Every structure is written in structure tokens, then in C-alpha cells.
Structure 1
Amino acid sequence: MSRAFVREAEGGEAFENLPDRTLSPHHLVTANGLALMDGAIERLTRSLEAAKTGDDKAEIARVSRDLRYWSARRVSAELASPPTDATRVRFGARVTFERKDGKQQSYEIVGEDEADPTKGKLSYVSPLAQALLGKEVGDTIPVGSTTAEITGIEI
């Protein structure tokens, strides 16, 4: 008989088989990024214990998946040394640039899991970060359909 017409046993909900989150091959992190991972693992460990206590299967499945993800990311994380000079844009540096329209933007180049462009943190594998890395103050980079000039690098 085809399984398509067989009723699942009670409690066999789909959330019990949540697929794992995809792991990126990019592992560089800042010290802050490493601390964020450790904090996520601690929070998720506490959440998992609470979900187990409450026998919340959906929450156990969700938190377990996230805990597996962050634990794997933590094991593979490579702590990058902070930049030691501000002559070139490097991982961990903050770079400011001015677009042709006069708008200034500033981003810190960080690891993927720490990235949040709305907070001024840009993943080192993003196209903009790739355009910035290795450049110096005064260099021009492509930004969308225009260009921008690097006006500052901070470490």
C-alpha cells in the first residue's frame, strides 16, 4: 500500500524532522563574533533544557537544530587576529567611504554570523567587502551603479 494514504501516528508531526541549517564554508570570526557564538550556545542550551522540562516537542526540535548549527560553527570558527595597521582595509577594520552623491557610509568587516549591515557590520564574503579588502584611503571602489572613495580606515 502506498504511504501517501496511511495516517501518521499521533505525535508524528513534521517539526520532529527539521532539516539542519546549512553550514557555510567561511569560518573567519572576530573576537566579538566568537563571543556572540558562545552566548548563542549558552542561551540555546538553557532553552533546550526548558523545552525538555515542558515536553515541548516543537521547541525541542527547533532549539536542537539551532544548537547543532551554532556548535558546529563554533568548532570550525577561526579567530582572526585584529588588524595592526590602518593602511589597508583588512578583516576586522572599520572602513568609511563617500559615494559620488556625497553620502558617507561606514562598515566594520566581520565574519558571516556577526554581519548586520543595518548595524554597520559587513560580512567579509559580501561583494562590497570584497571590493573594499586590500584597498587604501583614496582608492575608488564600485558601489552599485556608481563609485565611492575610501576616506578612512580604523582598527
Structure 2
Amino acid sequence: ERIALISRDLRYWTARRESAELSVPEPGSDLVRFGMGVTLEGDDGRKVHWRIVGEDEADPAKGTISHVSPMALALFGKKVGEIAVVNGRECE
């Protein structure tokens, strides 16, 4: 049973690697995109920094969020100073 699980995981990661694409943000771009780091300030003045990454790399405790997370989806296409609304809360 353990070998079957390991084989399944190996097939999964092999397929993920084969379909992976390198994504590099455009230099000088002021729009939030995949791979970028963003610093948000909430209504209370508290700041938090996130880097938007792939699902397999996401670890909020380490400052990375998935590109399919509600936060990242709300931020995509925003410019510095624009307001993003996530779960009813505004962040700038």
C-alpha cells in the first residue's frame, strides 16, 4: 500500500513538473501579477507582505499565497494605492 501511494505521488509530481511554466513579472510593471510581492495596509494601519505563487508553493505562514486564493484574485490587475476588497474588508 505504501509503495502504491509513493508511486501515485511520483506520477503526480512528474506531471506537474512537465506542465510547469516559468513566470517572471515584467520589469517596471505597476500591475499586480503572478510572482509579484505586494504589501497591503488594512484599515487599522497594519501592514502585511505577500508574494503570489503557485498552489504548490503557497504557505501563508511564510508570506506566500496561492494565485487562486481570494486575496490574490482580488489583487490581480490592481495598481499601487488601489483598494482591494476581500471577504468584505478593504485593503490598500
TM-score, normalization: structure 2? 0.89
Partner of 2:84: 141
Counterpart amino acid of residue 140 in structure 1: I
Is contact 2:54–2:67 with CA below 8 Å preserved after alignment? yes
Partner of 1:90: 33
Partner of 1:70: 13
Is contact 1:83–1:92 with CA below 8 Å preserved after alignment? no
Q: Per-residue CA shift, 1:15-58, capped at 9, x if unaligned?
A: xxxxxxxxxxxxxxxxxxxxxxxxxxxxxxxxxxxxxxxxxxx3
Partner of 2:49: 106
What CA distance in whole angstroms lies between the structure 2 residues aligned with 1:121 and 1:75?
A: 23
Task: In structure 2, list runs of 5 or more residues that go unmatched.
Answer: none
- Structure with the greater alpha carbon radius of gyration: 1
What CA distance in whole angstroms lies between the structure 2 residues aligned with 1:143 and 1:110?
A: 18
TM-score, normalization: structure 1? 0.55
User: Following TM superposition, by how much is the alpha carbon of 1:86 offset from its aligned partner in structure 2, in angstroms?
Assistant: 4.5
Q: Tell whether 2:43 aligns with 1:116.
A: no
Task: In structure 1, list runs of 5 or more residues that go unmatched.
Answer: 1-57, 150-155
State the Cα RMSD in Å: 1.3
Q: How many residues align?
A: 92
More helix by share: 1
Is contact 1:91–1:110 with CA below 8 Å preserved after alignment? yes
Where do 4+ consecutive residues of structure 1 move more than 6 Å?
none
